[in-house]
Amino acid sequence: MAFDEEGKFGPTLTFHEILLKVNNAKDKPKKLKVLQHYDTAELRMVLKAGFDPKIIWQLPEERPPFNENGAPEGTEHTYLKREARRLYHFIEGGNPNLSQNKREAMFVQILEGLTSEEANLLIACKDKQLNKKYKGLTANLIKEAFNWNDSFMKK
């Protein structure tokens, strides 16, 4: 449970729900407010991995073959917030001792544990397509929201 941007106490939102709020916000100041309100190290990791051009994903470009988790949301799922710390395995230089087959199998395992919305968010992140999935979510917006420079680092 956490407070939402209006100060109401409720369930913690998934990253997909947070980015949907960004998508639905009417203007840039409201989009910034949503990102800043839900700012966590894990959200920043995912957004950086999805926008920073220096981060190279070591996964095939095509959509990974995986079985979407059909369990009702909130039951048999993991959350991208919890899985974010494992993303280094899929990034160039992150875990050089991992075989490509093992890397791809781990990625599919993560996707199959997430809700379909968060799995698709992670795929869009890998493909550097978050801005196409969520209207108004741009590299410049996240740099401004988190006070990052052009290298996606704190100013």
- The DSSP 8-state label assigned to residue 57 in this structure reads B
* C-alpha span between 125 and 137 (Å, rounded): 12
Report domain extents, the chain. Answer: 2-145
- Model confidence, pTM: 0.89
Q: Residue 69's pLDDT is what?
A: 84
Q: Mean pLDDT score of the chain, rounded to an integer? A: 91
pLDDT digits (tens, 9 = 90+) for 38-81: 999 999 999 999 999 999 999 999 999 998 887 776 666 889 99
Q: What is the pLDDT of residues 70-85, one digit of tens each?
A: 777 666 688 999 999 9
- Go through 43-78 and write b for each residue having 16 or more CB atoms within 10 A of its CB, e for each that does not: bbbbbbbbbbeebebbbeeeebebeebeeeeeeebe
Half-sphere CA count of 82, side-chain side, radius 13 A:
10
